[in-house]
Structure 1
Amino acid sequence: MIRNTLTGKQKRFLRAMGTKLEPVVQVGKEGITPAVVKSTDDAITKREIIKIRVLQNCPQEPDDSIKLLAERTNCDLVQIIGRNALLFRRNFKKPKVELPK
């Protein structure tokens, strides 16, 4: 199950941040592999918010791939637009993003 711990105001804030981001993780012809999950987990731990891109040659639908990746990395799914998505997960040890209340 995908976490949904963000308020509407927090999601708007994160979407605004996400417009400036470049995709960090790309899901390709292999789909969601353990390596993709690991690289996503590492990136989200380091940055807290990342952009994902699902390439044309991915065997699954973009929405399904993104939701599965969010679920496996225990992230909040902020937004899906076409083949791109924003994922967020709070890093309590080294917070980088200050969310509005």
Structure 2
Amino acid sequence: MLTNRQKKFLRKQAHDIKPIFQIGKSGIHQTMIAEIAAALEARELIKISILQNALEDTEEAGQQLASKTDADVVQTIGSTIVLYKESRENKHIELPR
């Protein structure tokens, strides 16, 4: 679980990151979850955008992805989700305490 201070730090880090995944009409599926988990291991912090034709709500999609990838939702704003998961092998983000 992230503290408010850590979430603020991660929001600042995520500001310049471009979304690397898009959720569209087909929704969230197992292949996407596996790819997001792999991206989180490689990058630790990622953005995901929800397209206008998607059936999922941004908040619900963020919670669903976080629970299935064992990550934390840093922020959901507009149609963008920011996820963080500490990497086991590629750690490069040092969170404040």
TM-score by length of 2: 0.94
Question: Does 2:2 correspond to 1:6?
Answer: yes
CA contact (8 A) 2:41 2:88 kept: no
CA displacement, residues 4-36 of structure 1 (integer Å, 9 cap, x when unaligned): x11111111000011110001111111011111
* Alignment gaps of 5+ in structure 1: none
The correspondence for 1:72, drawn from 59, 68, 73, is 68
RMSD value, Cα: 1.0
Q: What residue identity is the alignment partner of 1:39?
A: E
Runs of 4+ residues deviating >4 angstroms: none
Question: Does 2:58 correspond to 1:62?
Answer: yes
TM-score by length of 1: 0.90
Aligned-pair distance for 1:82?
1.2
1:92: which partner in 2?
88
Percent of aligned positions with the same letter in both sequences?
Answer: 35
* Alignment gaps of 5+ in structure 2: none
Aligned pair count? 97
Q: What residue identity is the alignment partner of 1:18?
A: A
